[in-house]
């Protein structure tokens, strides 16, 4: 059986490092870092995520500043709030929670955030700095995944890595970070010819497509390391029977609860083939908030 890459345990390590960094600032007479979170509308998943961020901030000593706006908020009003937060010296990081309600332009909002306060790492300036290998605020999820791999001592130099997914949030920046560490990287996607065959070439497979159970055990090279970024809810029992064929407890939970979380990789099948796998839940998910707070401390210290 493969080793389980425990994202929750590594997130706790990352958060402890942030907490110590905040304490060091306070010991120098500096204020605690401030993170402003903008939540527009009533999306249930976004509200849960914002609550989790606020709790994590309290744990490490970062000041959490929440701005909750109605779904009917005009783009101009959202722009004005971002401008005020950009100018506020007590705010080191700004996060606009996605998705935004219909009628609001998410890219316009994200691009309006000052690059120095862009703790999500989505601004074109920070994406460009990553492309050039220069210091900047990196996208939270892939940077935290890199930290997890480094903690487990995975030597990336010369490794064949396949990143399944090409989003600006995970896929593309993950590929660039792996390139920085001298891995040989292929970005694969839904239009890749012989997608299973491409995945089977990977010593390191990163799945980030948002399709439950897409990656079967037969797609994985024996001994490969698998990082599953996908977080999907499965409610259909027929689909669940395929995905959870080697996870009877998960299938039982699906039938009992009417829905369960799973990743883009068929976890039970992957555990029988790979050398190490991130679980879902408890893998990459907790790392994202840890990466966000790491970026907030970095922004406060002005070293990005």
Active site residues: 53, 97, 120
Residue in the block written with tokens 């499965």: 234
Residues 57 and 293: beta-carbon distance below 8 Å: yes
Paired tokens of 22 = 């905040």
Residues 260 and 240: beta-carbon distance below 8 Å: yes
Q: Residue 251: phi, psi to the nearest 5?
A: -65, -40
For residue 51, give every residue at least 6 positions away whose Cβ sits within 8 Å of its Cβ, in sequence order, or none.
none
Query: For 163-195, b where at least 16 C-beta lie within 10 A, e where not — what string?
Result: bbbbbebbbbbbbbbbeebebebbbbeeebeeb
Specify which residues 206 forms β-bridges with.
Answer: 163, 227
Closest CA to 301 of 116, 41, 77: 116
């Amino acid at each position: 059986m493969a080793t389980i890459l425990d994202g929750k345990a590594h997130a706790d390590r990352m958060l402890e490092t942030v907490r110590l960094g905040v304490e060091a600032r306070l010991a120098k007479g500096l204020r605690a870092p401030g993170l402003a979170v903008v939540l527009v509308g009533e999306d249930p998943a976004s509200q849960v995520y914002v609550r989790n961020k606020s709790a994590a901030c309290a744990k490490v000593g970062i000041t959490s500043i929440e701005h909750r706006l109605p779904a009917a908020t005009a783009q101009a009003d959202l722009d004005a709030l971002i401008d005020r937060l950009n100018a506020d010296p007590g705010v080191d990081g700004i996060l606009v929670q996605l998705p935004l309600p219909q009628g609001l332009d998410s890219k316009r909002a994200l691009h309006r955030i000052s690059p120095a306060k862009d703790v999500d790492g989505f601004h074109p300036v920070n994406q460009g700095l990553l492309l050039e290998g220069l210091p900047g605020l990196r996208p939270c999820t892939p940077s935290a995944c890199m930290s997890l791999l480094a903690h487990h001592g995975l030597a990336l130099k010369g490794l064949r890595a396949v990143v399944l997914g090409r989003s600006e949030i995970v896929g593309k920046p993950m590929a660039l970070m792996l390139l920085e560490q001298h891995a040989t990287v292929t970005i694969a996607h839904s239009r890749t010819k012989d997608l299973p065959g491409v995945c089977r070439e990977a010593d390191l497979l990163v799945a980030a497509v948002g399709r439950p159970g897409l990656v079967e055990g037969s797609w994985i090279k024996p001994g490969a390391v698998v990082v599953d970024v996908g977080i999907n809810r499965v409610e259909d029992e027929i689909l669940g029977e395929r995905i959870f064929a080697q996870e009877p407890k998960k299938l039982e939970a699906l039938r009992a609860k009417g829905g369960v979380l799973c990743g883009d990789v068929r976890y039970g099948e992957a555990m029988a083939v790979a050398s190490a796998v991130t679980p879902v839940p408890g893998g990459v998910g907790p790392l994202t908030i840890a990466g966000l707070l790491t970026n907030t401390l970095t922004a406060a210290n002005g070293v990005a």
